[in-house]
Amino acid sequence: MHATAAKLLDAHAAHILAQLSGDALDVTIDREAAAFLDWLDARPLNSLTDAERVFTVARERVLDSEPTPALVAEIVAIIKDIWNSPVNENTYVHQIIEHKHYTAIVENIASRDKLRNDIIHTIVGNPVYGRLLSDVIYDAISDYMQHNPLTKNVPGMSSLMKMGKGLVEGAGGSAVKGYLQKNIQAIVGRSERTIQNILDGKQIHSVAEQLWHKARVLPLSTVRQYFGDKDIDQMAYVVEEAWNHVRRTDYVRAQVKTGIDGWFARNGSRNAGAVLADIGISREILMAEIKVHARVIVGEMIASGFLEARVCEQLAAFYGSDVVSGLLG
Protein backbone atom coordinates (compact mmCIF):
# COMPACT_ATOMS: atom_id res chain seq x y z
CA MET A 1 0.00 0.00 0.00
CA HIS A 2 1.25 3.48 -0.86
CA ALA A 3 2.56 5.34 2.21
CA THR A 4 0.18 8.24 1.68
CA ALA A 5 -2.70 5.82 1.18
CA ALA A 6 -1.89 4.22 4.53
CA LYS A 7 -2.04 7.61 6.23
CA LEU A 8 -5.33 8.41 4.49
CA LEU A 9 -6.72 5.06 5.60
CA ASP A 10 -5.84 5.77 9.24
CA ALA A 11 -7.32 9.27 9.04
CA HIS A 12 -10.48 8.00 7.35
CA ALA A 13 -10.94 5.22 9.91
CA ALA A 14 -10.40 7.66 12.78
CA HIS A 15 -13.00 10.00 11.27
CA ILE A 16 -15.62 7.25 11.00
CA LEU A 17 -14.96 5.97 14.54
CA ALA A 18 -15.15 9.53 15.89
CA GLN A 19 -18.61 9.90 14.32
CA LEU A 20 -19.69 6.76 16.17
CA SER A 21 -18.29 7.66 19.58
CA GLY A 22 -19.44 9.84 22.48
CA ASP A 23 -21.89 12.67 21.80
CA ALA A 24 -21.21 12.45 18.07
CA LEU A 25 -22.95 9.06 18.01
CA ASP A 26 -26.35 10.66 18.77
CA VAL A 27 -25.86 13.17 15.97
CA THR A 28 -24.91 10.39 13.55
CA ILE A 29 -27.85 8.22 14.58
CA ASP A 30 -30.32 11.10 14.27
CA ARG A 31 -29.01 12.01 10.82
CA GLU A 32 -28.81 8.50 9.38
CA ALA A 33 -31.99 7.12 10.95
CA ALA A 34 -33.97 10.16 9.83
CA ALA A 35 -32.58 9.84 6.30
CA PHE A 36 -33.49 6.15 6.19
CA LEU A 37 -37.03 6.74 7.46
CA ASP A 38 -37.48 9.56 4.94
CA TRP A 39 -36.38 7.20 2.17
CA LEU A 40 -38.68 4.47 3.49
CA ASP A 41 -41.70 6.78 3.77
CA ALA A 42 -41.28 7.88 0.17
CA ARG A 43 -41.94 4.33 -1.06
CA PRO A 44 -45.05 2.16 -0.94
CA LEU A 45 -44.63 -1.28 0.61
CA ASN A 46 -45.29 -3.05 -2.68
CA SER A 47 -42.19 -1.39 -4.14
CA LEU A 48 -40.09 -3.18 -1.53
CA THR A 49 -41.83 -6.55 -1.44
CA ASP A 50 -45.10 -8.17 -2.45
CA ALA A 51 -47.64 -10.68 -1.18
CA GLU A 52 -46.05 -13.59 -3.05
CA ARG A 53 -42.64 -13.01 -1.51
CA VAL A 54 -44.08 -12.70 1.98
CA PHE A 55 -46.11 -15.89 1.50
CA THR A 56 -43.01 -17.69 0.25
CA VAL A 57 -41.17 -16.72 3.42
CA ALA A 58 -44.12 -17.78 5.58
CA ARG A 59 -44.38 -21.09 3.75
CA GLU A 60 -40.67 -21.90 3.81
CA ARG A 61 -39.86 -20.64 7.31
CA VAL A 62 -43.08 -21.48 9.15
CA LEU A 63 -45.37 -23.91 7.33
CA ASP A 64 -42.63 -26.11 5.88
CA SER A 65 -40.37 -25.94 8.93
CA GLU A 66 -40.87 -28.16 11.96
CA PRO A 67 -40.25 -26.37 15.27
CA THR A 68 -36.82 -27.33 16.58
CA PRO A 69 -36.58 -29.21 19.89
CA ALA A 70 -34.68 -26.25 21.34
CA LEU A 71 -37.45 -23.82 20.36
CA VAL A 72 -40.17 -26.05 21.82
CA ALA A 73 -38.18 -26.56 25.02
CA GLU A 74 -37.66 -22.82 25.42
CA ILE A 75 -41.35 -22.03 24.88
CA VAL A 76 -42.32 -24.68 27.45
CA ALA A 77 -39.73 -23.33 29.91
CA ILE A 78 -41.11 -19.80 29.57
CA ILE A 79 -44.68 -21.04 30.11
CA LYS A 80 -43.57 -22.92 33.24
CA ASP A 81 -41.76 -19.84 34.54
CA ILE A 82 -44.93 -17.79 34.13
CA TRP A 83 -47.16 -20.57 35.46
CA ASN A 84 -45.06 -21.09 38.60
CA SER A 85 -44.28 -17.43 39.22
CA PRO A 86 -44.77 -16.35 42.87
CA VAL A 87 -46.78 -13.35 41.66
CA ASN A 88 -49.66 -15.74 40.93
CA GLU A 89 -50.02 -16.33 44.69
CA ASN A 90 -51.03 -12.73 45.33
CA THR A 91 -52.81 -11.87 42.10
CA TYR A 92 -56.55 -12.46 42.03
CA VAL A 93 -59.01 -13.10 39.23
CA HIS A 94 -60.79 -9.76 39.67
CA GLN A 95 -57.47 -7.92 39.28
CA ILE A 96 -56.97 -9.41 35.81
CA ILE A 97 -60.57 -9.58 34.58
CA GLU A 98 -62.89 -6.65 35.29
CA HIS A 99 -66.47 -7.51 36.14
CA LYS A 100 -67.83 -5.32 33.32
CA HIS A 101 -65.76 -7.23 30.76
CA TYR A 102 -66.82 -10.57 32.23
CA THR A 103 -70.46 -9.46 32.09
CA ALA A 104 -70.07 -8.37 28.47
CA ILE A 105 -68.75 -11.82 27.53
CA VAL A 106 -71.61 -13.53 29.39
CA GLU A 107 -74.12 -11.24 27.67
CA ASN A 108 -72.69 -12.16 24.29
CA ILE A 109 -72.96 -15.87 25.06
CA ALA A 110 -76.45 -15.59 26.57
CA SER A 111 -77.78 -13.71 23.55
CA ARG A 112 -76.90 -16.50 21.11
CA ASP A 113 -80.10 -18.52 21.46
CA LYS A 114 -79.73 -20.43 18.20
CA LEU A 115 -76.16 -21.48 18.94
CA ARG A 116 -77.10 -22.57 22.47
CA ASN A 117 -80.10 -24.58 21.25
CA ASP A 118 -78.05 -26.18 18.47
CA ILE A 119 -75.42 -27.28 21.00
CA ILE A 120 -78.09 -28.69 23.31
CA HIS A 121 -79.73 -30.49 20.38
CA THR A 122 -76.42 -32.01 19.31
CA ILE A 123 -75.64 -33.23 22.83
CA VAL A 124 -79.03 -34.77 23.56
CA GLY A 125 -79.15 -36.24 20.06
CA ASN A 126 -76.11 -38.37 20.82
CA PRO A 127 -77.06 -42.03 21.52
CA VAL A 128 -74.86 -41.97 24.62
CA TYR A 129 -77.11 -39.29 26.12
CA GLY A 130 -80.17 -41.45 25.47
CA ARG A 131 -78.61 -44.48 27.17
CA LEU A 132 -77.47 -42.34 30.09
CA LEU A 133 -80.92 -40.81 30.51
CA SER A 134 -82.53 -44.25 30.38
CA ASP A 135 -80.19 -45.59 33.06
CA VAL A 136 -80.77 -42.56 35.30
CA ILE A 137 -84.57 -42.94 35.07
CA TYR A 138 -84.35 -46.68 35.76
CA ASP A 139 -82.08 -46.16 38.77
CA ALA A 140 -84.39 -43.40 40.06
CA ILE A 141 -87.42 -45.72 39.91
CA SER A 142 -85.50 -48.47 41.69
CA ASP A 143 -84.22 -46.09 44.34
CA TYR A 144 -87.69 -44.65 44.87
CA MET A 145 -89.06 -48.10 45.55
CA GLN A 146 -86.49 -48.59 48.30
CA HIS A 147 -86.35 -45.17 49.97
CA ASN A 148 -89.88 -43.77 49.58
CA PRO A 149 -90.96 -41.92 52.79
CA LEU A 150 -94.13 -44.01 52.88
CA THR A 151 -92.04 -47.01 53.93
CA LYS A 152 -91.39 -45.29 57.26
CA ASN A 153 -94.85 -43.85 57.96
CA VAL A 154 -97.31 -46.50 56.75
CA PRO A 155 -97.33 -49.95 58.40
CA GLY A 156 -96.58 -52.74 55.94
CA MET A 157 -95.60 -50.33 53.22
CA SER A 158 -91.91 -51.14 53.63
CA SER A 159 -92.45 -54.75 52.63
CA LEU A 160 -94.68 -53.73 49.76
CA MET A 161 -92.15 -51.23 48.41
CA LYS A 162 -89.34 -53.76 48.73
CA MET A 163 -91.48 -56.15 46.73
CA GLY A 164 -91.94 -53.45 44.10
CA LYS A 165 -88.20 -52.83 44.02
CA GLY A 166 -87.64 -56.54 43.61
CA LEU A 167 -90.01 -56.58 40.66
CA VAL A 168 -88.21 -53.66 39.07
CA GLU A 169 -84.84 -55.32 39.51
CA GLY A 170 -86.13 -58.75 38.55
CA ALA A 171 -88.38 -59.82 35.72
CA GLY A 172 -90.22 -56.53 35.78
CA GLY A 173 -86.94 -54.75 35.27
CA SER A 174 -86.73 -55.98 31.69
CA ALA A 175 -90.18 -54.58 31.01
CA VAL A 176 -89.25 -51.21 32.51
CA LYS A 177 -86.03 -51.06 30.51
CA GLY A 178 -87.88 -52.12 27.39
CA TYR A 179 -90.42 -49.35 27.90
CA LEU A 180 -87.68 -46.80 28.43
CA GLN A 181 -85.79 -47.91 25.32
CA LYS A 182 -88.97 -47.89 23.25
CA ASN A 183 -89.91 -44.39 24.35
CA ILE A 184 -86.44 -42.92 24.81
CA GLN A 185 -86.71 -40.59 21.82
CA ALA A 186 -89.83 -38.99 23.22
CA ILE A 187 -88.17 -38.74 26.64
CA VAL A 188 -85.06 -37.20 25.06
CA GLY A 189 -87.23 -34.70 23.21
CA ARG A 190 -88.92 -33.64 26.43
CA SER A 191 -85.57 -33.38 28.21
CA GLU A 192 -84.22 -31.21 25.37
CA ARG A 193 -87.11 -28.79 25.71
CA THR A 194 -86.66 -28.75 29.48
CA ILE A 195 -82.94 -27.99 29.18
CA GLN A 196 -83.62 -25.23 26.66
CA ASN A 197 -86.18 -23.66 29.01
CA ILE A 198 -83.86 -23.89 32.00
CA LEU A 199 -80.75 -22.64 30.21
CA ASP A 200 -82.28 -19.43 28.96
CA GLY A 201 -80.45 -16.12 28.92
CA LYS A 202 -81.66 -15.15 32.40
CA GLN A 203 -80.46 -18.41 33.94
CA ILE A 204 -77.08 -18.15 32.23
CA HIS A 205 -76.67 -14.66 33.69
CA SER A 206 -77.58 -15.96 37.14
CA VAL A 207 -75.17 -18.91 37.02
CA ALA A 208 -72.40 -16.75 35.59
CA GLU A 209 -72.86 -14.18 38.37
CA GLN A 210 -72.67 -16.88 41.04
CA LEU A 211 -69.52 -18.22 39.40
CA TRP A 212 -68.00 -14.73 39.31
CA HIS A 213 -68.51 -14.12 43.03
CA LYS A 214 -66.76 -17.41 43.81
CA ALA A 215 -63.93 -17.01 41.31
CA ARG A 216 -63.16 -13.31 41.72
CA VAL A 217 -61.44 -13.79 45.11
CA LEU A 218 -59.33 -16.78 44.06
CA PRO A 219 -55.60 -16.30 43.45
CA LEU A 220 -54.40 -17.26 39.98
CA SER A 221 -52.24 -19.95 41.58
CA THR A 222 -55.45 -21.90 42.35
CA VAL A 223 -55.37 -23.28 38.82
CA ARG A 224 -52.04 -24.98 39.56
CA GLN A 225 -53.82 -27.63 41.62
CA TYR A 226 -55.34 -28.86 38.36
CA PHE A 227 -52.39 -28.36 36.00
CA GLY A 228 -48.78 -28.98 37.01
CA ASP A 229 -45.50 -29.08 35.12
CA LYS A 230 -46.20 -32.60 33.83
CA ASP A 231 -49.54 -31.46 32.45
CA ILE A 232 -47.81 -28.56 30.68
CA ASP A 233 -45.31 -31.01 29.16
CA GLN A 234 -48.13 -33.25 27.95
CA MET A 235 -50.10 -30.32 26.56
CA ALA A 236 -46.99 -29.00 24.81
CA TYR A 237 -46.53 -32.38 23.13
CA VAL A 238 -50.16 -32.44 21.98
CA VAL A 239 -50.00 -28.86 20.69
CA GLU A 240 -46.73 -29.54 18.85
CA GLU A 241 -48.15 -32.67 17.22
CA ALA A 242 -51.34 -30.84 16.28
CA TRP A 243 -49.40 -27.90 14.82
CA ASN A 244 -47.13 -30.17 12.80
CA HIS A 245 -50.25 -31.70 11.28
CA VAL A 246 -52.20 -28.48 10.76
CA ARG A 247 -49.34 -26.53 9.17
CA ARG A 248 -49.05 -29.13 6.41
CA THR A 249 -52.72 -29.02 5.44
CA ASP A 250 -53.86 -27.34 2.25
CA TYR A 251 -56.46 -25.48 4.30
CA VAL A 252 -53.91 -23.63 6.47
CA ARG A 253 -51.71 -22.83 3.47
CA ALA A 254 -54.69 -21.43 1.60
CA GLN A 255 -55.82 -19.36 4.57
CA VAL A 256 -52.33 -17.96 5.23
CA LYS A 257 -52.13 -16.95 1.58
CA THR A 258 -55.62 -15.43 1.74
CA GLY A 259 -54.67 -13.40 4.81
CA ILE A 260 -51.42 -12.12 3.27
CA ASP A 261 -53.06 -11.32 -0.07
CA GLY A 262 -55.87 -9.45 1.68
CA TRP A 263 -53.46 -7.46 3.86
CA PHE A 264 -51.38 -6.42 0.87
CA ALA A 265 -54.49 -5.51 -1.12
CA ARG A 266 -55.42 -3.07 1.66
CA ASN A 267 -51.96 -1.82 2.60
CA GLY A 268 -49.56 -2.46 -0.29
CA SER A 269 -49.88 1.08 -1.63
CA ARG A 270 -49.14 2.64 1.78
CA ASN A 271 -45.71 3.43 3.16
CA ALA A 272 -44.13 1.69 6.14
CA GLY A 273 -44.57 4.69 8.43
CA ALA A 274 -48.34 4.77 7.92
CA VAL A 275 -48.64 1.02 8.55
CA LEU A 276 -46.54 1.22 11.72
CA ALA A 277 -48.62 4.17 12.93
CA ASP A 278 -51.70 1.92 12.73
CA ILE A 279 -50.23 -0.22 15.51
CA GLY A 280 -49.10 2.72 17.61
CA ILE A 281 -45.47 2.97 16.47
CA SER A 282 -44.80 6.55 15.42
CA ARG A 283 -41.68 7.99 13.81
CA GLU A 284 -40.74 9.54 17.17
CA ILE A 285 -40.97 6.18 18.91
CA LEU A 286 -38.84 4.55 16.21
CA MET A 287 -36.18 7.23 16.47
CA ALA A 288 -36.07 6.95 20.27
CA GLU A 289 -35.78 3.15 20.20
CA ILE A 290 -33.11 3.18 17.48
CA LYS A 291 -31.06 5.68 19.48
CA VAL A 292 -31.30 3.71 22.74
CA HIS A 293 -30.35 0.37 21.23
CA ALA A 294 -27.72 1.79 18.88
CA ARG A 295 -25.87 3.39 21.79
CA VAL A 296 -25.54 0.04 23.54
CA ILE A 297 -24.68 -2.03 20.46
CA VAL A 298 -22.27 0.43 18.84
CA GLY A 299 -20.65 1.11 22.20
CA GLU A 300 -19.97 -2.58 22.69
CA MET A 301 -18.68 -2.94 19.10
CA ILE A 302 -16.18 -0.11 19.70
CA ALA A 303 -15.12 -1.35 23.15
CA SER A 304 -14.44 -4.85 21.82
CA GLY A 305 -12.42 -3.52 18.86
CA PHE A 306 -14.80 -5.19 16.41
CA LEU A 307 -15.97 -1.98 14.74
CA GLU A 308 -12.47 -0.59 14.21
CA ALA A 309 -11.32 -3.88 12.67
CA ARG A 310 -14.28 -3.97 10.28
CA VAL A 311 -13.87 -0.32 9.25
CA CYS A 312 -10.15 -0.74 8.60
CA GLU A 313 -10.69 -3.90 6.57
CA GLN A 314 -13.31 -2.23 4.38
CA LEU A 315 -11.17 0.87 3.83
CA ALA A 316 -8.02 -1.14 3.20
CA ALA A 317 -9.64 -2.72 0.15
CA PHE A 318 -10.04 0.76 -1.32
CA TYR A 319 -6.81 2.45 -0.22
CA GLY A 320 -4.76 -0.55 -1.20
CA SER A 321 -6.28 -0.73 -4.68
CA ASP A 322 -4.41 0.00 -7.88
CA VAL A 323 -6.75 2.93 -8.53
CA VAL A 324 -5.61 4.76 -5.38
CA SER A 325 -1.97 3.87 -5.99
CA GLY A 326 -2.27 5.28 -9.50
CA LEU A 327 -3.83 8.50 -8.24
CA LEU A 328 -1.12 9.00 -5.64
CA GLY A 329 1.66 8.16 -8.10
pLDDT of the chain, 329 residues: tens digit per residue = 788 899 999 999 999 999 999 889 999 999 999 999 999 999 999 999 999 999 999 999 999 999 999 999 999 999 999 999 999 999 999 999 999 999 999 999 999 899 989 999 999 888 888 888 888 887 777 776 666 565 555 454 455 445 454 544 554 556 667 777 777 888 888 888 988 888 888 888 999 999 999 999 999 999 998 889 999 999 999 999 999 999 999 999 999 999 999 999 999 999 998 999 999 999 999 999 999 999 999 999 999 999 999 999 999 999 888 888 888 87
Which element (helix H / strand E) includes 27? Answer: helix 22-41
DSSP 264-316: HHHHTTSBHHHHHHHTT--HHHHHHHHHHHHHHHHHHHHHTTHHHHHHHHHHH
DSSP assignment letter at 218: S
As a whole number of angstroms, the distance between CA 45 and CA 270 comes to 6
Helix-strand-coil split of the chain, %, nearest 5? 80, 0, 15
Please check whether residue 252 is in contact with residue 246, taking contact to mean a CB–CB distance below 8 angstroms: yes
Instruction: Report pLDDT for 137.
Output: 81
Instruction: Report pLDDT for 160.
Output: 47
* Short-list 68, 111, 25, CA closest to 302: 25
Instruction: Report pLDDT for 157.
Output: 44
End-to-end CA distance of the chain: 12
- Dihedral of alpha carbons 224, 225, 229, 231, sign: negative
Return the domain boundaries, the chain.
Answer: 3-83+233-328, 98-218
Q: What is the pTM of this model?
A: 0.76
